[in-house]
Amino acid sequence: MESHRAFAESRGNVLLVRKGNPKGIGGIADFMGDAITIAISNPESETASFRVYADSLVALAEEAGLDSEALKTRLSTGGEEKRVVFSAAIHHREEPEPLASGAADVAMIYYHLGLRYSRIFPDVFDFVPLGGTREEPEPGPAHQTTRYHIGLIGDGGDWGQGFADFMSGEESQGICRNHGLRSPI
């Protein structure tokens, strides 16, 4: 791959909760309580997403004047109470289950995933924005965001360049926006 280009970017992260938010989680301060069980991607098998989530949470805790070191420890070890549920393989397929079953109270996930889960399971899930509103999240400086890139191997074969152009085009950008991503800045 000689080059690549960004075609979409995440809008930061949200806290996924069960419908009705039974624990009343409204932000980072509630997230840090000892009685709250957190679901998050696995720090060993999903290093990239775990880092985005953990770094965002720690920065949000620091911004709020909370004990970010305690949060770092809890996220990396599960804490003394083991109140962290790590995904086994692919977090975006697994995070809803511990919430739905009651094994976790909150999950840290990308906005676009929270939007998807609350759309396809409206009676099961809701999410708490961590910046902006539900419809227009505005990730602050504490949020880590992710850019999604496309590139061609060699000349891309018969279809590669057309696919790369489509992914950067208005139709694809509209699909991305509808599903909670934004055009790269």
Question: pLDDT (tens digit, 0 to 9) for every residue of the chain, 185 residues total?
Answer: 888 999 999 888 999 999 999 999 988 888 777 789 999 998 888 888 899 999 999 998 998 899 888 888 888 876 556 788 888 888 888 889 999 999 999 999 999 999 999 999 999 999 998 876 667 777 778 888 889 999 999 989 999 999 999 999 999 999 999 999 988 86
The candidate with the shortest Cα–Cα distance to 42, out of 58, 59, 54, is 54
The H or E element containing residue 96 is helix 96-101
110 strand-pairing partners:
13
Q: Which residue, among 121, 115, 79, has the nearest Cα to 97 in the 3D structure?
A: 121
For the chain, how many helices (H) and strands (E)? 8, 7
What is the chain's mean pLDDT, rounded?
88
| SS3 at position 55 | helix
Query: Could you tell me the pTM of the whole model?
Result: 0.86
Structural domains of the chain sorted by starting position, each given as residue range(s) with its CATH number in brackets: 12-129 (3.40.190.10)
